[in-house]
């Protein structure tokens, strides 16, 4: 506290993603099914008691997973600190890489983000950092992931997309790319929208679930066979070695030429053999 010199601790606000799109309606915005009871601290109270400036607190634009019934939007909070050695914790966050699934033709929701000094030459993507220290003038931007949509977004009523656009929840670009809705001059361009939607050559997603490109890419490498091999090899190690060994194996697999990956578990076992050759005590521990 710049007024007293004493350290203040405050819970600024619970942050939540949205609820999934449903067969009959859109998902709940800024409130998943298990967090609907939580209340945010009033902005004015935070600013007075915690000595920060809240620059934005609301729903994150374009975070909802597109669908006939879109997913719920995630919340976002932007605030500025004014004291040195201000410590920020942002725990229990997920969906920074793997996003909320789309279902029945719906698309995944947006990812969560944790950014320091966004939009400046000092911007830092903090990813899954739990705790950090910031100084006077630093800005923190926390965005929670949106939920996945239900049903084909190109079948969504253009007027529903326009309403979200007018509320600031969907950008012009996202309306066009995700929903095939062309907005010009604050209104739906009906001929352009019909032409854009009819020009799509196939469904926007494959399969009943759309887990997103990030998870699909990960699972192309970490197949069931590779995970089975990893589990088998780790189970044979002393407990205090398992975390280290797991990350060494992950690093080894990541560095493989994609063309050399077989996904049958053999490259995982080879990585463990290399690790045991480097650390003979592992062989003795297994024996």
> Strands (DSSP E) along 69-123, which ranges?
75-81, 86-89, 102-103, 113-116
Sheet containing strand 139-143, edge to edge, reads 52-59, 75-81, 139-143, 113-116, 124-125
With CA atoms as reference, report the closest residue to 136 among 80, 82, 87. 82
> Is the separation of the CB atoms in 122 and 137 below 8 Å?
no
Element counts in the chain: helices (H) and strands (E):
9, 11
3-state DSSP call for residue 246? helix
> Could you read off the pLDDT tens digit of each residue along the chain, which spans 287 residues?
777 777 888 888 878 888 999 999 999 998 765 666 677 888 999 898 888 999 999 999 999 999 999 999 999 999 999 999 899 988 767 788 899 999 999 999 999 999 999 999 999 999 888 889 999 999 999 999 999 999 999 999 999 999 999 999 999 999 999 999 999 999 999 999 999 999 987 766 667 899 999 999 999 999 999 999 999 999 999 999 999 999 999 999 999 988 888 899 999 999 999 999 999 888 766 65
Cβ atoms within 10 Å of 281's Cβ, excluding its own = 10
CA distances from 166 to 159, 262, 280 (A): 10, 49, 65
> Is the separation of the CB atoms in 206 and 212 below 8 Å?
no
3-state DSSP call for residue 128? coil
What is the rounded CA–CA span in Å between residue 84 and residue 80?
12
pLDDT score, position 205: 66
pLDDT score, position 39: 76
CA distances from 275 to 112, 227, 252, 258, 281 (A): 35, 17, 10, 21, 10
What is the rounded CA–CA span in Å between residue 46 and residue 39?
13
> Is the separation of the CB atoms in 62 and 170 below 8 Å?
yes
With CA atoms as reference, report the closest residue to 153 among 187, 105, 190, 108. 105
> Is the separation of the CB atoms in 145 and 95 below 8 Å?
yes
Q: What is the pTM of this model?
A: 0.84
Locate all alpha helices (DSSP H) within the chain, ordered by sequence: 43-50, 158-166, 172-179, 190-198, 213-221, 224-235, 239-254, 266-278, 280-286
Give burial (CB, 10 Å; 0-12/13-18/19+) of 97.
middle
196 contact partners, CB below 8 Å, separation of at least 6: 176, 180, 181, 182
What is the rounded CA–CA span in Å between residue 80 and residue 86?
10
């Amino acid at each position: 506290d710049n007024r007293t010199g004493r350290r203040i601790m405050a819970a600024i606000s619970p942050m939540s993603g949205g609820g999934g799109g449903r067969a009959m309606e859109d998902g709940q915005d800024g409130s998943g099914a298990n967090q609907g009871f939580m209340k945010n601290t009033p902005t004015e109270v935070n600013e007075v008691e915690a000595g920060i400036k809240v620059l934005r607190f609301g729903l994150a634009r374009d975070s909802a997973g597109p669908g006939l019934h879109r997913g719920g939007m995630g919340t976002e909070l932007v605030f500025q600190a004014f004291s040195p050695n201000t410590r920020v914790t942002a725990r229990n966050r997920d969906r920074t890489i793997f996003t909320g699934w789309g279902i029945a033709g719906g698309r995944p929701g947006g990812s969560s983000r944790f950014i320091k000094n966004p939009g400046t030459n000092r911007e830092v993507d903090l990813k899954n950092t739990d705790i950090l220290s910031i100084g006077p003038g630093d800005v923190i931007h926390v965005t929670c992931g949106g939920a996945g949509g239900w049903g084909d977004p190109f079948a969504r009523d253009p007027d529903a997309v326009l309403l979200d656009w007018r509320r600031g929840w969907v950008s012009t670009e996202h309306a066009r790319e995700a929903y095939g809705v062309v907005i010009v001059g604050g209104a739906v361009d009906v001929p352009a929208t019909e032409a854009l939607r009819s020009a799509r050559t196939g469904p926007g997603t494959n399969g009943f679930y759309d887990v997103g490109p990030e998870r699909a890419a990960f699972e192309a490498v970490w197949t069931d066979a590779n995970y089975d091999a990893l589990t088998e090899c780790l189970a044979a190690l002393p407990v205090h070695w398992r975390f280290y060994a797991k990350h060494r194996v992950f690093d080894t697999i990541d560095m493989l030429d994609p063309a050399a990956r077989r996904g049958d578990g053999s490259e995982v076992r080879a990585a463990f053999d290399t690790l045991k050759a480097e650390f003979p005590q592992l062989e003795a521990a297994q024996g």
